[in-house]
Every structure is written in C-alpha cells, then in structure tokens.
Structure 1
Amino acid sequence: MTFDKLKPQIEVLLKKEDLEVKDKLTQVCELLEQNIPYYDWVGFYFKNGNKEELKLKSFAGEPTDHEIIPFGRGICGQVAVSNKNFVVPDVKAQNNYIACSIHVKAEIVIPLFVDGENIGQIDIDSHTADPFSHEDEVFLQWVNEKVAEIL
C-alpha cells in the first residue's frame, strides 16, 4: 500500500473520539507495520517526564526489552539529543546501536515536535537491508505532524 493511501486511514484513526491517545498510536503502529512490507517493528517513544530518557508508549511488532532508552544511547537516544531524522541503512555499521532483535538490519527514527519541542519520535525497524528512502522520511514526518495535533 502506498503512503498516499495510508494517509486518510491515519487521519481517521487519529480523529476517533472513543479511543485514548495511546490506543490511537497503537493503531497507527499496527496500520504501518501491517501495510508496509519492510516496516517490521513500529513504535512511538516519548520523553519520560523530566528524565533524560525516552519511554515506549505504543508499538506494533515483536515485544522489546527496550522500553526505556537514555538520551544519547542508540539511534532513538541520539535523535532525542540531535532533533534530526536518523536513517540507518545498516545497523551493524553503527557503533552506538542498541540491538532489539537479531533480525533488524535497518532503522529509521523521526523526531516528533510539539510547539517546536522534541517530545518523542517514531521508530521503525526493518529486517530488510537499506529499505528506507526520502519518501519514508517525508511520510513519517507527516505522520508525526498529525500525531502532534492530538497531543
């Protein structure tokens, strides 16, 4: 399914009034994980209160032990500090990578901003080597913009 076909579905999910934010985010994760063949794990991490760490809020895919990630550690922790997209075509080439699964070959992390502040991120793991394109970045930035509207 193309990104353009997923956009209206994401908008409908995020507007559901009978769901809590966490459930809306879980459904977005599930939609992406089920419809984009190389999105094998999709999750939203958010800053954990005043702590210098991220906490996993919603995800789709295999369960992970990495529910808390300190700022600066791994790809997610680096994005929390840099405020910039991070596309990793080959996780084995990263020396500050936190392995979630032996099957993960690539990762993309896009920060989520509310009123100019980086409050979280969407994290995608792929079992496919180098699958992410500029279109993935643009699409995931759009997803985060829509999510920011409900936070």
Structure 2
Amino acid sequence: MRNLKKQRRIQIIIIAFVALAVATGLIGYAMRDGINFFRSPTQVVEQPPELGEIFRIGGLVEPGSLVQGQGEAITFKVTDGGASIPVSYTGIKPDLFKEGQGTIALGQMQDGVFVATEILAKHDETYMPKEVIDALKEQGVYQEPAND
C-alpha cells in the first residue's frame, strides 16, 4: 500500500513536469513573432541586422527629411544625433507624427532602407519612449522637457 502511494506521487510529479514543459514551449512558440528588439540608428549602423530580421528602430524624425510620396507612402530619416537611417512606410501615419518628434518604427532593413510596417508617434508634448530617451542620452543630445 505504501509503495502504491509513492508510485502515484511520482506519476503526478512527472505529469506536472511534462505539462509545465509543454505549456512553456507553447508560450515560447506563440511569442516568437511578438518579441521585437529595439535599436537606435547608431546601433543599426554599428551592428547591421541580419537579413529579414524584424526589429524596432527609434529616435527623432530628422527635420527636413519627411517626404510625402504617392498615396499613403512616406519616407523620412530617424536620427539619434549620431546616425540617421532612412525609413520607408506605406500606411496611415499617426496624427502626431511630424519632423523633430520622437518615433518608433517596426520593420526590417532592405537595401539600406528601413521598411516599416508600423510607426508610432509620441502621444503628447512630454512623452517619449524610454528606449528613445536612453539612446538620445547616450549620444548627448537629449534635453529634458520644460515643466510649465
């Protein structure tokens, strides 16, 4: 009788371990496309991404670089003060998207141009994504917003 309880306990532990391993594998599989690394323009220039690698690039929209193409196509440059990367995007741009403002774009590099599938703009005068602030601070070009 005692041996039977011990054997049942071991079976339950093994089943729980297998269920945990399967759940972890399924979560990892589901998240494989949802994890995108952030890079500043300087990091992209210093360590070019692998062909087809999807990542986020962030910085400021370089003044004078925003060009409206045909339809919903736009091109612009993202800069962190140390490097600039040309970006191409086709779609509806956010209302607050403009030159000199912080932005993050999701996409991949193709022939030296970052082809974005999504762009995000800051949502008010004081907000800027933490990654963009950190990258700008590294370059020494970040200025704290003035408090009114």
Return the TM-score normalized by structure 1: 0.24
Instruction: Tell me which protein shows more helix as a share of its residues.
Output: 1
Structure label with greater radius of gyration: 2
